[in-house]
Structure 1
Amino acid sequence: MILPHLLVATLIASTCFTTFAFGAPRLPNDEVEALREIGRTLGKNWQFDVDPCSGELGWVTQKPVKGFENNVTCDCTFSNSCHVVSIVLKSQNLSGVPPELGKLPYLKEIDLTRNYLNGTIPPEWGSTQLVNISLLGNRLTGSIPKELGNITTLGTLTVEFNQLSGNLPPELGNLSHIERLGFSSNNFTGELPTTFSKLTTLKEFRISDNNFTGTIPNFITNWANLEKLEILASGLNGPIPPGIASLKNITVLRISDLNGTNTFPPVNNMRNLEKLILRSCNITGKIPEYLSNMTELKVLDLSFNRLSGEIPSSFKKLSGLDFMYLTGNLLVGPISDQITSSVGGNIDLSYNNFTFENTGALSCGGKLNLFRSSFGSNNSGTDLCSGSTTCLKRAFNPLKNQGTLDTKNLHGPS
């Protein structure tokens, strides 16, 4: 008879499953149900016929491709149970934003980078103990909920490349452990909240490509641990606060598109600078000599300002530079072959007022752009060292309704 055989097989299967269940820590049922809800909201077809903490059937990618990670990670060091601590789902074509994260009390990380998430950021996330929130590269709208300011455990909040709008909530100033804030490429407006002055643990702050108003606030000088500051076409005006000199740990300083007249900011104490970009900031005066002492510098971009005088002869010491862009200024004097041959990478000196006494001595080598770089009779239709170098010119960013430089098309890496 078939029925007794089926009964025996069922009993064996049940016994095996029970042995597995009691032989290893498992995820509590309430967290399993929370994952079911999260999966439905995201449009993620997780398989629940095995324990989500088993690392099987789509819960963990065994050999993940960078940028396409698909992992649910558990911590099974608790007695007789596991708990979900991380959900990383990058480039998985997901659509919804799950408010149910609060039902995973041990969750520390949610990374939904580069999906198709639409809708708003759930205020319910404010009840979590998250350390990392990354929503970069989606289609999120609305404003950032003030409730996120309750997540005092938060170390990273990245919402760049979305369609978020409104003012940044002052409550984010309560994030006492925050190290990285990324708001670039959205439609944020208003001034930066004064409560941000309390964010003394910050290491990275990025607000480029937005519609903020007001000036760059003086309180950024409170961020003594800051390593990267990016304010490219943010909507903010100058001047650059002189107190920026106190930020000695900065390795990347990127500022562009400032209205008003500015003097060269005092960056002489930033001895670890690797990228210094002060593009289209209406900076007047001479290029500081001390820049030649920044031995870690790889990118120097001072394009489209009103800098005058000569290139400091000491720049010949900048042999580690990969890119030096001084295009669109009022620079004068002879161009030293010692400088152009010493700098290891590409040099753009176009659209200036240099003089050339011995053009044959210049070493172009395909890396030097002198297109329209001189003024007067010695520039009679001759474009020096412009051979294979792309002509760099002002461009408008089609993503913005304002006259800003297209940071993707100008000057190679930024």
Structure 2
Amino acid sequence: MAASLIMASQTNISTDQSALLALKDRITTDPQNMILTNWSTTSPVCNWVGVTCGARHHRVTFLNISYFGLAGTIPPELGNLSFLVELLIKNNSFHGPLPQESARLQRLKFISFRFNNFKGIIPSWFGSLSKLQAFDLYGNQFSGYIPAAIFNLSALKVINLSYNQLSGSIPKEIGNLTMLKEIKLDGNNFKELPNEIGTLDQLEELYLQFNALQGPIPMALFNMSSLIILTFFRNNLTGSLPDNICQHLPNIQELSLAYNQFEGPLPSKWLPCTQLLSLQLGMNSFSGSIPTDIANLTQIKMISLSYNHLTGT
């Protein structure tokens, strides 16, 4: 029995070794010589740079080859790393298609492909990674829409698709992701924001800077008591702000609505925003006077009201 278990363990780790060697074969540039010399069959897989194995099953659980300056493509064999929990390939120059076989990584909780050269649509197979908690594609060239399958990821806490070339509406199904704490969609071409974001009662950070959002902000967003950061810097949002903007934002620390097309008076009731550190409302069309309540924001470090139509003292 013991011998057969040892044999099974060797077979399993050899599967992981074969998958990683397939990745090595796809690497065309390795300026720091991190992979091409270190990943060798003369040493155990679990000792390879960027590779961590679990103590219980002796399988590859973490793969972190970030900041190595690598170029190449992702092989389908990577989907054979069936015990993988964390996959980080940040700050490299990987490109080409993301293979469908990666959908087999059913233990995966954290994935980051940020700052690579991936393009095309975001593959829908990401939506089958049911344990995924953090999904980071920041700084690539993905285009098109966010695939609907992503909104099946009920364990997701962080979604970061910033600085790609995504467009259209942010799907209302984002309201299904009730565990979300961070939504980061800066630097895309989204035009519409759904009311359903306002139902995410654990959301702490909402980044939608540098997009093409139009129309008014859904009022539900100003009822999200969990919010710490809310930033819509540089969009095409219109309408006015509620006078009691702070009433249901007790934890807000950063509120940035600058470079939009808001109009009307500034909100007058700021006292409930006791944690506010940064208030940026410049480059809009606000009119009237500066409310005296702003002077009572004792934690504030930055206020920008420039380039509006404000009057008075």
- The amino acid of 2:110's aligned partner reads N
- Which structure has the higher relative contact order (CA within 8 Å, separation 6+)? 2
Q: 1:33 aligns with which of 18, 24, 27?
A: 18
**Alignment partners' CA distance in 1, 2:99 and 2:269:** 48
TM-superposed deviation, 1:247: 1.4
Q: 1:105 aligns with which of 64, 79, 82?
A: 82
Q: What is the aligned partner in structure 2 of residue 300 from structure 1?
A: 279
Q: 1:166 aligns with which of 144, 156, 161?
A: 144
SS in 2 for 1:133: strand
Contact kept in structure 2, 1:205 and 1:228, CA below 8 Å: yes
- The amino acid of 2:177's aligned partner reads L
1:232 pairs with 2:209: yes
**Alignment partners' CA distance in 1, 2:222 and 2:282:** 21
Deviations 1:380-405 (A, max 9, x none): xxxxxxxxxxxxxxxxxxxxxxxxxx
Contact kept in structure 2, 1:41 and 1:97, CA below 8 Å: yes
SS in 2 for 1:87: strand
TM-superposed deviation, 1:216: 1.1
Contact kept in structure 2, 1:171 and 1:195, CA below 8 Å: no
SS in 2 for 1:189: strand
TM-superposed deviation, 1:187: 0.8
**Alignment partners' CA distance in 2, 1:319 and 1:121:** 49
Q: 1:141 aligns with which of 119, 140, 151?
A: 119
1:221 pairs with 2:198: yes
Long gaps (5+) in structure 1: 1-21, 61-70, 335-414
Q: Under a length normalisation based on structure 2, what TM-score does the superposition of the two structures give? A: 0.87
Long gaps (5+) in structure 2: 1-5, 29-34
Contact kept in structure 2, 1:262 and 1:281, CA below 8 Å: no
**Alignment partners' CA distance in 2, 1:238 and 1:89:** 42
Q: Identity of paired residues, percent?
A: 30
TM-superposed deviation, 1:192: 2.0
SS in 1 for 2:54: strand
Contact kept in structure 2, 1:289 and 1:314, CA below 8 Å: yes
Contact kept in structure 2, 1:184 and 1:209, CA below 8 Å: yes
SS in 2 for 1:307: strand
SS in 1 for 2:21: helix
Contact kept in structure 1, 2:132 and 2:155, CA below 8 Å: yes
TM-superposed deviation, 1:37: 0.9
- The amino acid of 1:95's aligned partner reads A
Contact kept in structure 1, 2:186 and 2:211, CA below 8 Å: yes
Q: Matches of residues 157-196 of structure 1 in structure 2 within 5 Å?
A: 157-196=135-174
**Alignment partners' CA distance in 1, 2:162 and 2:199:** 21
1:127 pairs with 2:112: no
- The amino acid of 1:34's aligned partner reads A
SS in 2 for 1:289: coil
Contact kept in structure 2, 1:289 and 1:312, CA below 8 Å: yes
Q: What is the aligned partner in structure 1 of residue 221 from structure 2?
A: 244
Q: What is the aligned partner in structure 1 of residue 32 from structure 2?
A: none
For residues 97 and 295 of structure 1, do their structure 2 counterparts lie closer, same or farther at Cα, with a shift above 3 Å needed? farther
Q: What is the aligned partner in structure 1 of residue 40 from structure 2?
A: 47
**Alignment partners' CA distance in 1, 2:53 and 2:160:** 27
Computing the radius of gyration from Cα coordinates, the structure with the larger value is 1
Q: What is the aligned partner in structure 2 of residue 94 from structure 1?
A: 70
Q: Under a length normalisation based on structure 1, what TM-score does the superposition of the two structures give? A: 0.67
SS in 2 for 1:297: coil
**Alignment partners' CA distance in 1, 2:100 and 2:211:** 26
